[in-house]
Amino acid sequence: MQIVEFANGTLRFLETIPHQAPERGFVWIYLEREHLDQDLPMLQRAAHVLGGSQLLDVHVKDLGNRAHPARYDYTSVYDLMIFRRLASEAEVQAELGDESHVRAGPLELFRRIRSRAVGFVVFDRLLITVHPGGCYAARLFIERYLADAVQAEGLTAAARSRLPISTADLMVRMLNMMVDSYLELRKDLSNELDQWQQSLLAPSSRGADWSSLMTARNALHSLEDMCEEQQDAVQEWLDTQREQPPQWMGQAELDGLLARARDVVEHIQRVVHHVRRMEQSAETAVQIHFSAVGHRTNEIMRTLTALTAIFLPLNLIVGFFGMNFEFMPAIHNQEGLWWTVGVMATMAIALGLVFWRKRYLARAR
């Protein structure tokens, strides 16, 4: 557990929970989910002293649930936000285990899409965040706010202007960073999907890796559902802030907070739109693939039909002269064989030219 106090344009790390929240600031308590049960008594005491109310048991269970979907809930004293951030590469490798060393195949990036639940408990003067172990989100914000630190209790003027002004402001900034990671993922997913489509629609293609395609489709469906849940959660929180703004917050601060929250919702909508577009693109590529396969099959059958039509008259002639009659024209003639061969060759060449002119024997492109 780490305790950070934001007050008067500065921040400092505390060893213990303060007896009261700063008059013009707030306290941020960050802990890892693995230590939630161990630090719960201290966390409840901090919530009671600094926030005015202990956490409900049902909300504590939500914070400890690794697989909890995005959700917003509230009480008369605090708000609860569960959000799912994109898992880092190290977290994905740890989850996949031995599978992470398997040779990368088509649409491999879709198989590696994973998310982690992050919990926020927002009081007026206290913010509690519960992260997975080694969470980069909390570490990045701590490093960002300490980058320009001059002393343990002082920051440069430029750094002060970047500090959050409230618990809700800090939460929205962290949500915005998590959503941006999904926006950055869009380019990689699009490039991999484009390469797969080009490989699938290539003339020399022997088919698609349907197992990878199904994995990618499931990943896109899960990503779409998760983003919609995140959008609903943030939108509900935003509506609550509009209808019941904090009494201590000035109008300018409230406008800035709502603008940041609307920006988060807009970014989530962009992710959802892009995911749906990739789903449609994959479906279209599969339909084009089957249409191309059907077209190539028709070309092959047309060529085979033309060749069969060429040899049908020749089979007729051979069958005619193969009849076991004693007296037949040209049977005992020395030139009969060559006349027959010439007629058969002429018919075959003539039919071949006719079919070629009609493009029945044209090469498929």
CB 64, CB 36: distance < 8 Å: yes
> Which amino acid belongs to residue 178?
M
d(CA 148, CA 141): 13
Residue 256 has what pLDDT? 84
Give the residue extent of every domain in the chain: 2-292, 295-357
Residue 87 has what pLDDT? 84
> Which amino acid belongs to residue 66?
R
Structure tokens at 96: 């996949």
Residue 130 has what pLDDT? 93
- 270 phi and psi angles, rounded to 5 deg: -65, -40
CATH topology of domain 295-357: Methane Monooxygenase Hydroxylase; Chain G, domain 1 (1.20.58)
Residue 148 has what pLDDT? 46
Structure tokens at 48: 């009671």
Residue 222 has what pLDDT? 87
CB 27, CB 4: distance < 8 Å: yes
Residue 232 has what pLDDT? 93
pLDDT tens digits for range 137-163: 888 877 777 664 444 444 444 444 577
**Intervals of the chain under pLDDT 50:** 100, 102-103, 148-160
Residue 207 has what pLDDT? 61
CATH of the domain spanning 2-292: 3.30.460.20
Q: How many CA atoms lie within 13 A of 49 on its CB side?
A: 14
d(CA 48, CA 46): 5
Helix (H) or strand (E) holding 115: strand 115-122
CB 190, CB 278: distance < 8 Å: yes
